[in-house]
């Protein structure tokens, strides 16, 4: 059974207009296929034309995978979340015969409206695998997948925390407007998405991914994002994961999936956090920005700057513990939500700590010294994993040994012309942005498809070319199956 690889990418406004740029969908699909991601999570899919854009990326990733010898149906299974702010979260699955997304089948839908709130008490829900259970549908591609508009939406998730001495208390993510049913438009108030997956191996495994896209600031402290990060431990999925059956709360580690109580084996928290991970204590200097960021991140992970993977790291390729056998649903259903009086910090390990994932925008005439200098240090597009996240062994030589995650180097893949496997030809995007006067295209003349770059591509050419695709770099992590 192969290990499961997960990709996270803030794709920078994936829309119908973006994929209409010549070659854009092909480049995005090529990156996803080259990563061999079994689960690709895309952030910043626009809520207006995002479904059409996801379809275009799905087709492009499928074509790239097939060209490399993959399955004819690779990446044809995709879903989006309910809209939050002005965006969706998008998910592409490489092989639905191995990985099935989990959808809500009963209870609140997770749409984050007054009538259908974001999920806060998972005991109110039942779930099912899409497009069918493994037993009922051995080959998920045997029947046509439903049209994009008819596909189920992945639910958004809110906080259900306990707060002594008042006992159980309903809470909401920081900055949200309860007068609107807990829903507020705007980029600073995007809700996380709960994307769960059933994975078919010697046994079936339930892996939960909480994806987020927090509001950004241009520099310095980000109190809203800090507050939201601190609350991630207060989601019900976090409370369930950190209380497995061996502990005092045996029912708390399960959800009802396909009519059976199913253990949550792994929790992954990922996304665009917009709190600078490189600006926290230690190392020095100690200041208000660094201590404030550390206070927020302490609720999620003990790992500090360049601290590697903590708590503990899974060896690449190592088998994790097998999930316990499902148990019967208690008579009358599950208890009504969390029963904690306090919620401990998650203290998950971090999967990437030393590689920046934002591409710095250099002014005209400024030449970066090397490709590594193109990356910023902002804490974006990273993973926090529970117990079984690991760096794929083939990537170990490419990144810091302490990291359990690979940041994909888009600038290094930019070429002039067709190039070879893994090459990204952005000549169509260069022409588009030159005409529109955007993305600093005029500062990268060597990307002009009609002119041979006699001097080769400079680091600035590569930076600008990569930023045509996205101003964030995608990351890949691996889940080690027993």
- Tell me the pLDDT tens digit for each residue of 456-481: 888 888 999 999 999 999 988 877 76
pLDDT band at 335 (very low <50, low <70, confident <90, very high): low
Q: Are 399 and 350 in contact, with CB atoms under 8 Å apart?
A: no
Q: Which strand (E) or helix (H) includes residue 74?
A: none
Q: Which of 86-95, 156-165, 312-321, 380-389 has the lowest mean pLDDT?
A: 312-321
pLDDT band at 55 (very low <50, low <70, confident <90, very high): very high
| Element counts in the chain: helices (H) and strands (E) | 9, 20
**Burial (CB count <10 Å: 0-12, 13-18, 19+), residue 455:** exposed
For residue 316, pLDDT beyond 70: no
Q: What's the CA gap between 310 and 99, in Å, rounded?
A: 27
Q: Which of 162-176, 326-340, 420-434 has the lowest mean pLDDT?
A: 162-176
And the tokens for 90? 């998008």
Q: Which one, of 300, 288, 289, lies nearest residue 349 by Cα?
A: 300
For residue 187, pLDDT beyond 70: no
As a whole number, mean pLDDT of residues 209-217 equals 87
As a whole number, mean pLDDT of residues 358-384 equals 69
Statement: the pTM of the whole predicted model exceeds 0.95: no
Burial 357-395 (b: 16+ CB within 10 A, else e): bbbbebeeeeebeeeeebbbbbbbbbbbbbbbbbbbeeb
Can you give the pLDDT at residue 397? 44
pLDDT band at 20 (very low <50, low <70, confident <90, very high): very high
Neighbours of 327 (CB within 10 A): 15
And the tokens for 11? 């794709």
Q: Is 65 helix (H, G, I), strand (E, B) or coil?
A: helix
Can you give the pLDDT at residue 93? 97
Domain boundaries, the chain: 4-412
Q: What are phi and psi of 224, to 5 degrees?
A: -65, -50
| Average pLDDT of the chain, as a whole number | 80
To the nearest whole percent, how much of the chain has pLDDT over 90?
35
């Amino acid at each position: 059974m192969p290990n499961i690889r997960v990709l996270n990418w803030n794709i920078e406004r994936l829309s119908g207009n973006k994929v209409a740029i010549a070659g854009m969908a092909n480049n995005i699909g090529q990156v996803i296929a080259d990563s061999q991601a079994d689960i690709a999570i895309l952030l910043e899919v626009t809520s207006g034309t995002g479904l059409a854009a996801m379809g275009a990326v799905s087709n492009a990733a499928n074509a790239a995978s097939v060209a490399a010898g993959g399955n004819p149906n690779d990446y044809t299974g995709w879903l989006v979340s309910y809209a939050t702010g002005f965006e969706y979260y998008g998910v592409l699955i490489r092989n639905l015969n191995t990985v099935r997304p989990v959808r809500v089948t009963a209870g609140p839908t997770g749409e984050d409206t007054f009538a259908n709130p974001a999920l806060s008490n998972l005991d109110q829900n039942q779930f099912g695998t899409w497009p069918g259970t493994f037993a009922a549908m051995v080959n998920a591609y045997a029947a046509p997948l439903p049209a994009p508009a008819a596909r189920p939406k992945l639910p958004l998730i809110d906080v259900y925390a306990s707060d002594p001495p008042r006992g159980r208390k309903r809470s909401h993510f920081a900055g949200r407007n309860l007068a609107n049913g807990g829903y507020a438009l705007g980029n600073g108030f995007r809700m996380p998405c709960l994307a769960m997956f059933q994975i078919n191996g010697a046994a079936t495994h339930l892996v939960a991914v909480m994806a987020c896209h927090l509001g950004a600031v241009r520099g310095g402290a980000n109190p809203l994002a800090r507050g939201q990060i601190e609350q991630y431990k207060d989601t019900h999925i976090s409370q369930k994961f950190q209380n497995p059956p061996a502990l005092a709360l045996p029912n708390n580690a399960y959800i009802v999936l396909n009519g059976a109580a199913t253990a949550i084996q792994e929790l992954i928290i990922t996304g665009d956090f917009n709190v600078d991970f490189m600006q926290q204590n230690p190392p020095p200097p100690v200041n208000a920005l660094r201590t404030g960021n550390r206070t927020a991140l302490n609720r999620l992970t003990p790992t500090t700057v360049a601290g590697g993977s903590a708590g503990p790291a899974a060896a690449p390729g190592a088998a994790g513990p097998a999930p316990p056998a499902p148990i019967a649903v208690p008579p009358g259903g599950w208890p009504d939500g969390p029963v904690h009086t306090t919620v401990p910090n998650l203290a998950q390990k971090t999967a990437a700590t030393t590689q920046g994932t934002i591409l710095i925008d250099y002014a005209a005439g400024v030449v970066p010294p090397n490709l590594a200098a193109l990356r910023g240090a902002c804490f974006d597009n990273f993973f926090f994993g529970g117990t079984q996240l690991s760096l794929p062994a083939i990537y170990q030589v490419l990144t810091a040994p302490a990291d359990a995650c690979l940041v994909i180097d888009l600038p290094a893949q930019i070429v002039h012309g067709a190039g070879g496997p893994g090459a990204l030809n952005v000549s169509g995007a260069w022409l588009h942005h030159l005409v529109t006067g955007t993305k600093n295209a005029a500062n990268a003349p060597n990307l002009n498809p009609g002119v041979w770059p006699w001097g080769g591509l400079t680091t600035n050419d590569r930076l600008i070319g990569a930023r045509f695709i996205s101003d964030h770099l995608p990351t890949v992590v691996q889940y080690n199956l027993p």
